[in-house]
Amino acid sequence: MDRFEYIEARLFEGENYIKRDKNVKIYDGDDKTQFVDGEVVLTTHRILWGKPGDIPKGLVCLSLHLFYIFCIEEESGGMFGLGGPKRIILHLGPTIPGKRPGPAVVSPYHFVKFSFKDGIDTAFYKALNEAVSAKAWEKPQQVTASVDLSPSSLTPRPSVAPVNSKIRSGIVGIERSIEEQHRATDQSISVAFQDLKKLMEKAKEMVTISKTISSKIREKQGDISEDDTVRFKSYLMSLGIDDPVTRDAFRSDSEYYMGLAQQISDMMVAVLIECGGIMSLADVWCRVNRARGLELISPEDLLNACKLLQTIDAPMSLRKFPSGACVLQLNSNRDEEIAKSTSQLLEENGFLTPVKLSQIANVSVLLARERLYTTERLGLACRDESIEGLAFYPNLFLKKV
């Protein structure tokens, strides 16, 4: 039903009336709708449906453009299809952009049914096939003198040859319907993968740009200040790592992890400085994969590479807190300095919870909690656990005892 649109019952320029029928009900796929016992009018360009008397008066009705229709079927009614054809099934193409509002925004079906209470009029069915085959909307038309759909102005205009039509009934009809639904699904998936392919092509272009900028930095190393170099490298990390380390380039896992550790060390120095010298391993994994673009690594590869940071004399190392939390921390980021800065925040605020410290220091709640625990272990804070939660206070015993 998302191909239908609401419009006044007036003919377009070059559009002509063909046929009319009454007591028609509309189905959205196999689902019933509120549009029952209406009148349907076939033109060279559209199918109009309205309540009895609305279309001749030019009132608002439902309109379906014929260019949506790519297949027409009859569906037999009654038990074992003995009651004669009662419904016309119209298989529709995708909705075009810029369509007028209609009874539905989105429909799960790619077909609609017109159910005729008195059975399908053979002349109407034939005229519908001819109108779809003629494709009058693709041909240049002269302006019609009348745009009224009153009974006195309706003059039939025959068209060309019919499209292929099939009688659909029983198990064969059900199987054919399932096949058509699968075909429509496959088409939607193909379109989605085409968009994904375009995205991957754009990602490769961005990595190429990062390589170009990196080479220019190396060529003009003497002309660019250290601050500019750090800023350029941060831009490159946003675009993607040039030449990311991959497992295929090494003969053994140990060499791969060693190369990956060196790359992590190079790219995470500036990031750790901006984040206060420490970052959770989960955040590191997200940052690294974001910079690598399409060459993603697993959490296990990251963990194994970080374990080798000390062996390559990197300015950072992997640390595991007593709680089990793993972080990447700069070697210059000492616990004493962390405890001292956290103790100053405690004195300024009176007390701190992990959530409150995370908001003040702009770190995750996990790291904030570990900072408070570290401050407590070094004797600069006291912990209070109650039904209200976990809170830390300045250690007054150091000053007042």
pTM: 0.38
**Are the C-beta atoms of residues 113 and 20 closer than 8 Å to each other?**
no
Percentage of residues in the chain with pLDDT exceeding 70? 70
Inter-axis angle of helices 335-349 and 365-377, to 10 degrees?
A: 100
At 155 the pLDDT is 43
pLDDT higher than 60, residue 203: yes
At 43 the pLDDT is 92
**CATH (one of 1.10.10.10, 3.40.920.10, 3.30.70.60, 3.90.25.10) for 335-399:** 1.10.10.10
Q: Which CATH architecture has domain 5-137+156-163?
A: Roll (2.30)
Closest-CA residue to 326 (of 359, 299, 357)? 299
The total of other beta-carbon atoms located within 10 Å of residue 65's CB is 16
Q: How far apart are CA 134 and CA 132, in angstroms?
A: 6
Domain range list for the chain: 5-137+156-163, 196-243, 247-328, 335-399
pLDDT band at 64 (very low <50, low <70, confident <90, very high): very high
State which fold the 247-328 domain adopts.
Answer: Arc Repressor Mutant, subunit A (1.10.10)
pLDDT higher than 50, residue 104: yes
